[in-house]
């Protein structure tokens, strides 16, 4: 009886550990849906196709994976938009991570978007809204369009 109970406890703990690890390792479900080609076209004034999407590693340890979404213009001058998005377990965890990461990217300005936002020296924007953290860059850079895109995403969250 003790052996069977011990085996059940060990099996339960092993299952719990594997489940927790898989939950942290799983990529976000279609994070690119927060920034559509139509939103980009509205802000930048030219058509964009569907994004090339891939997983993006967590910033720290056992945090969730993110989505890396890259959009390219279909006509006119070549423009590339990079959107990286993470959905954290909670708003407090997202804020802690956002604050920690801001130490690595020297904020040059802090626009009023989402719960917190900053522009970095590479002309990219980092935004926190609730438990969602995201990054947007436009190549070639345009600060007004960047802020408008970031605000567009924040409005969808």
Burial of 33 (0-12, 13-18, 19+ CB in 10 A): middle
Mean pLDDT of the chain: 82
25-39, 42-56, 96-110: least confident range: 25-39
Could you report the per-residue pLDDT of 53-64, keeping only the tens digit for each?
A: 999 999 888 889
pTM of the model: 0.79
Domain residue extents for the chain: 28-156
* Domain with residues 28-156, CATH architecture: 3-Layer(aba) Sandwich (3.40)
- Most confident of the ranges 28-42, 99-113, 141-155: 141-155
What tens digit of pLDDT does each residue of 1-37 get? 443 323 233 233 333 333 333 344 344 457 899 999 9
């Amino acid at each position: 009886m003790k052996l069977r109970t011990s085996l059940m406890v060990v099996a339960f703990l092993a299952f719990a550990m594997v489940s927790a690890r898989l939950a942290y390792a799983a990529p976000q479900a279609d994070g690119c849906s927060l920034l559509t080609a139509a939103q980009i076209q509205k802000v930048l004034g030219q058509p964009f196709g569907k994004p090339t999407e891939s997983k993006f590693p967590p910033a720290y340890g056992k945090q969730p994976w993110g989505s890396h979404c890259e959009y390219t213009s279909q006509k006119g001058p070549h423009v590339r938009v990079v959107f990286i998005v993470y959905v954290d377990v909670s708003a407090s965890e997202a804020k802690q991570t956002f604050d920690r990461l801001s130490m690595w990217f020297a904020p040059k300005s802090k626009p009023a978007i989402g719960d917190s936002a900053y522009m970095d020296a590479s002309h990219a924007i980092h935004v926190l809204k609730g438990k969602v953290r995201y990054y947007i860059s436009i190549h070639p850079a345009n600060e007004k369009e960047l802020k408008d895109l970031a605000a567009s995403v924040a409005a969808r969250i």
